[in-house]
């Protein structure tokens, strides 16, 4: 691995994007939310974005899809390289991300070489590791995609077979953890959103978490809210992740909190899986609902589980509505069928992957939820910093339902 680049450990005021970071933090009006976005996170996130550019370039190079002077398009690359059509989703992402970075340029519906250079992958990976060691696992996952690009695009292996091979499990346990600041930010903002739902005079507050994975979301929520949560049902469908998640939730819970581990497939009726209607104050999910094949069904099931006046809280990457652009984290998940094979809707879900604030609002309102709040206001912040893509969406049920 190369040595860290020169600015890897710069003080905040010395970082090339220090002024942008200051504008971003100033745009987060809520002080409690702003505290979750220190310089340390912003610098690591910026390094990760450049690492994704380098990975996208490496993937296109590995499969012979980099455009020459005459340019190319997704359709042309698919034809020239005999790429199965459904595998063009990550191909399109790579072209768009590099065009957004100026490494490529859009021309006549296709792509030609651009003016901006792309950094060496190992250089940026070393910078990220030096700046934020817990986030270094992201480079290992991206490196896997570059190394396995030929097998994926030729149809020899699926994204699931590549990314979730048994020897890759330790990477995911590291990635989906609170030690990885790039992922933990969703857990922190989600816990902040949940905290705002606690009854002011105390009393019962019962939470159902869907798709709890390795447990980092539960861990953060339970530690943040402490005895404010009286009952926490942790659910996950994947057995391997569930075992880790259940242990994490149990270890983080206050003595006064009852933790209930359970298996739940959100794509099937929840009542038949032990979720009684009208029994939870909050249904909570971190980076989960966006993979629902039928999001309307999942949200409807969440609404059924709520007590009158309860709320659904989802903490996710959120795509800015006006300044829509490739979200760097999507490069990993665009290789997975579960991420891309979803029912879309022109308003509620225009595309696969992460939703915009407008799409979340339309989805929740169509399910009868009201007072939909994005915490923080992703669209307003993106006017100052287009790469801001973290938010929690809170949608409340009517108190009389």
List pLDDT tens digits, range 106-123: 999 999 999 999 999 999
Q: What is the pLDDT of residues 38-49, one digit of tens each?
A: 999 999 999 999
Q: For residue 284, give Cα distances in angstroms to 1, 66, 72, 92, 311.
A: 40, 41, 43, 32, 9
- pLDDT computed for residue 4 by the predictor: 37
pLDDT digits (tens, 9 = 90+) for 229-256: 999 999 999 998 999 999 999 999 999 9
pTM of the model: 0.93
For residue 167, is pLDDT > 50? yes
Which of 316, 320, 314 minimizes the C-alpha distance to 395? Answer: 314
pLDDT of residue 19: 86
For range 132-157, the mean pLDDT: 96
Pairing of the two strands 231-235 and 206-209: parallel
pLDDT band at residue 400, thresholds of 50, 70 and 90?
confident
- The secondary structure of residue 156, as a DSSP letter, is S
Confidence of residue 2 (pLDDT cuts 50, 70, 90): very low
Q: Where are the beta strands (DSSP E) in 98-218?
A: 104-107, 110-113, 206-209
Mean pLDDT of 300-323: 94
Provide CATH code, domain 182-396: 3.40.50.150
User: How is the chain split into domains, by residue range?
Assistant: 12-175, 182-396
359 vs 35, 122, 393, CA distance in Å? 27, 37, 11
Q: Can you give the pLDDT at residue 160? A: 95
Residue with tokens 């006017």: 383
Q: Which has the closest alpha carbon to 390: 36, 19, 5? A: 36
Structure-block tokens of residue 317: 């990457």
Q: Closest Cα partner for 367 from 272, 294, 275, 267?
A: 294
In this structure, what are the phi and psi dihedrals at residue 370, rounded to the nearest 5 degrees?
-130, 180
Burial of 69 (0-12, 13-18, 19+ CB in 10 A): exposed
Specify which residues 110 forms β-bridges with: 107
CA dihedral for 273, 172, 223, 34, sign (positive or negative): negative
pLDDT tens, residue by residue, 75-95: 999 999 998 887 899 999 999
Reply yes or no on whether the pLDDT at 257 is more than 80: yes
Q: Quick one: tokens of 235?
A: 């659910």
- Angstrom CA distances, 207 to 236, 245, 350, 360, 363, stand at 14, 15, 30, 21, 21
234 touches 260 (CB < 8 A): yes
pLDDT at residue 14 in the model? 72
CA count, 13 A, side-chain hemisphere, 265 = 7
For the chain, give the percent of residues with pLDDT over 90: 85
Question: Is residue 321 over pLDDT 90?
Answer: no
């Amino acid at each position: 691995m190369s040595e860290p680049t020169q600015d890897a450990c710069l003080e905040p005021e010395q970082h090339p994007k220090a002024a942008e970071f200051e504008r971003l933090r100033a745009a987060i009006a809520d002080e409690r939310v702003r505290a979750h976005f220190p310089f340390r996170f912003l610098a690591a996130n910026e390094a990760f974005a450049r690492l994704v550019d380098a990975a996208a370039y490496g993937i296109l190079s590995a499969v012979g899809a980099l455009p020459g002077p005459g340019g190319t398009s997704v359709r042309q690359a698919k034809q020239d390289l005999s790429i199965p059509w459904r595998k063009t989703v990550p191909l399109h992402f790579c072209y768009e991300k590099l065009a957004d970075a100026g490494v490529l340029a859009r021309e006549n519906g296709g792509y030609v070489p651009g003016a901006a250079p792309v950094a060496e992958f190992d250089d940026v990976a070393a910078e990220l590791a030096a700046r934020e060691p817990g986030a270094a696992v992201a480079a290992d996952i991206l490196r896997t995609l570059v190394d396995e690009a030929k097998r994926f695009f030729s149809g020899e292996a699926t994204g699931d077979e590549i990314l979730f091979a048994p020897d890759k499990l330790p990477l995911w346990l590291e990635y989906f953890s609170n030690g990885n600041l790039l992922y933990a930010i969703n857990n922190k903002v989600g816990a902040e959103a949940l905290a705002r739902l606690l009854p002011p005079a105390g009393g019962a507050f019962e939470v159902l978490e869907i798709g709890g994975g390795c447990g980092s979301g539960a861990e953060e929520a339970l530690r943040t809210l402490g005895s404010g949560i009286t009952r926490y049902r942790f659910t996950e469908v994947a057995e391997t992740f569930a075992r880790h998640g259940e242990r994490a939730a149990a270890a983080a819970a206050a003595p006064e909190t009852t933790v209930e581990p359970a298996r739940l497939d959100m794509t099937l009726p929840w009542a038949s899986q032990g979720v009684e209607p009208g029994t939870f104050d909050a249904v909570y999910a971190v980076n989960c609902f966006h993979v629902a094949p039928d999001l309307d069904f999942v949200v409807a099931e969440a609404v059924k589980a709520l007590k009158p006046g309860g709320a659904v809280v989802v903490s996710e990457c959120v795509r800015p509505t006006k300044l829509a652009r490739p979200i760097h984290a999507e490069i990993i998940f665009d290789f997975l069928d579960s991420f891309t094979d979803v029912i879309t809707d022109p308003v509620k879900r225009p595309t696969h992957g992460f939703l915009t604030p407008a799409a979340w609002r339309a989805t929740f309102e169509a399910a009868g939820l009201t007072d939909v709040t994005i915490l923080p206001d992703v669209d307003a912040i993106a006017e100052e910093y287009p790469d801001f893509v973290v938010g929690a969406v809170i949608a409340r049920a009517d108190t009389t339902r």
